[in-house]
Structure 1
């Protein structure tokens, strides 16, 4: 099979669910899986911008347990389950400034969005994968899970670190039963969410967006490749990991950060 055929047919016959799949990295992953021939279901709180999207859309707020249950039931009834689950939902919408700015509500919300949404969805959809003895689960984490920045990502980093640990544990449990579980930790990606995050930080600091962007680059120790990632670059890694070519990969955490991470991982 040549590269062009692989792009079209690599996932033909597979059904994938992408959470938070209407924007940013999630949208890029959705587009890549569609190009590879998969049937793709996308879920998010808000309707997609496209009038007639090429994927199946189901609205759901995955921070709510009952919404997760409804989503899983609909997928089971309409599609018979999924072969690929991309837990991409996540957000860092919490106040900066360190521990004094974060209330219990902020901490609970950070865990609901960045950890428990994935835990609940895995719990709902994984059993059917185990019955078939096949499937792939990808947890989209963040380099923040191992490189917290106290002034801007404290709650988010803690939640992503917990996701990393949970993902590894689940991989160890599900692997012997034929289901691969992998973590992908993007660094700085050029998305709408990143732009909004930096804009808010710049506003709080009273500096320009360009100055705040450079400040963030400096704060994380610089990015050797000198730029943020395009979401499509992260999506390409995810595609490889869910494809048959990655059939011996499970339990790993892949960092895609332009060389930013300052230690040997």
Structure 2
């Protein structure tokens, strides 16, 4: 039986850069919003206590994690990713013991996500994700009523937020900021801000993106001028005095996923005035 995890594509890029592109064992923490099976950011542990066959989080990492959790109380540690030697694409006995200790110390989590990165270039299983510099095999651990650890592979859904926002930023001549998470009326979203002269677009991506449309809000900044007005008109939005404008989208699943966001924004109808 598979468990299910959603992960933002920019997290995969960071894991590839800090873990897969280096010899084992390296790793770091996986963070996401409270209570949701979503991994939204990666915290590398460059000072981890490791050898070619072991990995243990450093005191520096623990302090950084504590500061992040204090500054952003809506985030929690979802698990630890680390690399193994080629071919060892599953948790070791030592890993399982460490998972059990983590779950006993943080029983409110209920589960711990445990990806293993190896230097392989072929994906053969549903719980694996191919990276530019290796392969990530994703597992989830849960404590059983008997106190042992049940480790199972996890089916992975990748949210192409970074890819689509980078494309949109290039098309608009805008700057795309690092994804974060936000809760709106009890629902969790991945939030990305795109900023250009006079205009800020805030995109809230649901966990079912790109099947489900994001919420898009356009906010006029102090530099708002005729160029920005033209940009809004390009989205089909008439000039209004409102500082924040919602952009209603027609989300066409017949459009290829990688083009769906840009197409929906360009075809956005005028909001009700």
By percentage of residues, which structure has more strand?
2
**TM-score clears 0.5:** no
Q: Calculate the TM-score normalised by the size of structure 2.
A: 0.27
Q: Calculate the TM-score normalised by the size of structure 1.
A: 0.28
By percentage of residues, which structure has more helix?
1
Bigger-Rg structure (1/2): 2
